[in-house]
């Protein structure tokens, strides 16, 4: 599956009803041994696989590799399997992927994860990188009704990088400056009252930086609730969007009993709570962790990136 197709599938999860999500979750549960994982992967190949290089379907079977059916393309002569070109390509020990992700959920280091699963440290390093590539896509397309928006901040981290652009801070430590500083990465969290949620990394908190992220998420007739920062007032006015700024700084919490930002703040607390166990995530993976958390909010705590990805290899139309 190509990354564009996967993005489409991830976007479709965001649009699923609660009932559809429950069905998907049931299908994903218990895929932990090699046969089940392979069956899940191969399911996508039942229905006319296409060559990932030249896109034709003129193929023949060409033995097996990494326990998966291998195909050879008559057009370009190249070989491939169901995972070629995906973040899971050429990874072995499929029975341990789920177990490995559980160690990631527990916040174990690369070394501790490798010890716990009985895999080499290099494998552990590679898996972490590959698994984290999966959830970086997928945001809801449009929000409706009352939409709450607020920014939250994550400490900048160069964890796992050999060369640090500045002197290292103690792991999971505190920023030197409180609030907004260069050491904090701003993330915009947007949530409507139907539970659609987007969280996007910002490159700054000016209107110029927030506007192109926020406005495409909003249907024209939404009512935007924010903490009343002038930036949001400016953006809403320019985009001609109804805006109810809650004057949080002056102690205001809710307007007319409906307009508030308590849902987005509650989401932010759950996100922060979930992130805490990772003891600071590397900034280059922040988008992946945000995506993973959106997945969990949609499909439950037991959902891991590879399970979600493997389900997307199956035909989306089977998920009714
Ligand atoms: Zn080909």
CA distances (Å), origin 34, targets 31, 41, 68, 129, 130: 8, 10, 11, 21, 19
Tokens of 201: 């990394």
Parallel, antiparallel, or unpaired for β 59-65 and 68-73? antiparallel
Q: What is the mean pLDDT of the chain?
A: 84
Instruction: Look at the block and give the residue holding tokens 């006319």.
Output: 48
Tokens of 288: 């992946």
Distance 133 CA to ligand 1 centre (A): 25
pLDDT tens for each residue of 58-88: 999 999 887 888 999 999 999 998 888 888 8
Which residues lie near ion ligand 1 (Cβ < 5 Å)? 51, 53-54, 73, 75-76
Q: Above 50 in pLDDT, residue 317?
A: no
CATH 3.30.420 domain locations along the chain: 146-281
- Nearest alpha-carbon partner for 151 in 72, 232, 255: 232
pLDDT tens for each residue of 190-216: 999 988 899 999 999 999 999 999 999
Q: pLDDT confidence of 299, banded at 50, 70, 90?
A: confident
pLDDT tens for each residue of 3-62: 677 777 777 777 777 777 777 776 666 555 777 778 778 876 656 678 888 988 899 999
Distance 65 CA to ligand 1 centre (A): 18
Q: pLDDT confidence of 143, banded at 50, 70, 90?
A: very high
Distance 230 CA to ligand 1 centre (A): 54
Distance 41 CA to ligand 1 centre (A): 20
Distance 52 CA to ligand 1 centre (A): 7
Give SS3 for 172.
coil
Q: Architecture of domain 146-281 in CATH?
A: 2-Layer Sandwich (3.30)
pLDDT tens for each residue of 252-265: 999 999 999 999 99
For the sheet with 68-73, list strands across it. 59-65, 68-73, 79-80
């Amino acid at each position: 599956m190509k990354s564009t197709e996967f993005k489409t599938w991830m976007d479709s999860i965001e649009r699923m009803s609660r009932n559809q999500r429950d069905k998907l979750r049931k299908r994903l549960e218990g895929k932990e041994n090699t046969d089940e994982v392979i069956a899940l992967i191969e399911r996508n190949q039942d229905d006319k696989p296409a060559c990932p290089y030249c896109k034709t379907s003129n193929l023949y079977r060409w033995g097996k590799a990494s326990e998966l059916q291998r195909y050879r393309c008559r057009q370009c002569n190249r070989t491939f399997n169901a995972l070629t070109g995906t973040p899971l390509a050429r990874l072995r020990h499929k029975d341990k992927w789920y177990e490995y992700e559980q160690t990631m959920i527990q916040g174990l280091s690369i070394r501790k994860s490798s010890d716990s699963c009985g895999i080499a440290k290099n494998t552990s390093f590679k898996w972490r990188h590959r698994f984290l590539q999966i959830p970086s896509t997928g945001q809801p397309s449009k929000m409706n009704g009352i939409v709450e928006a607020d920014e939250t901040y994550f400490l900048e981290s160069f964890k796992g990088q050999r060369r640090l652009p500045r002197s290292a801070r103690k792991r999971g430590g505190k920023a030197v400056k409180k609030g907004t500083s260069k050491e904090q990465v701003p993330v915009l969290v947007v949530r409507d009252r139907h539970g659609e949620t987007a969280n996007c990394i910002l490159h700054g908190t000016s209107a110029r930086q927030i506007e192109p992220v926020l406005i495409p998420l909003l249907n024209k007739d939404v009512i935007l609730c924010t903490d009343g920062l002038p930036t949001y007032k400016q953006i809403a006015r320019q985009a001609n969007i109804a805006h109810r700024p809650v004057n949080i700084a002056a102690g205001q919490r809710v307007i007319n009993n409906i307009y508030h930002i308590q849902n987005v703040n509650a989401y932010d607390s759950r996100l922060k709570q979930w992130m805490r166990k990772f003891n600071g995530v590397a900034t280059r993976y922040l988008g992946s962790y945000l995506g993973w958390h959106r997945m969990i909010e949609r499909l439950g705590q037991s959902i891991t990136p590879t399970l979600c990805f493997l389900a997307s290899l199956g035909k989306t139309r089977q998920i009714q």
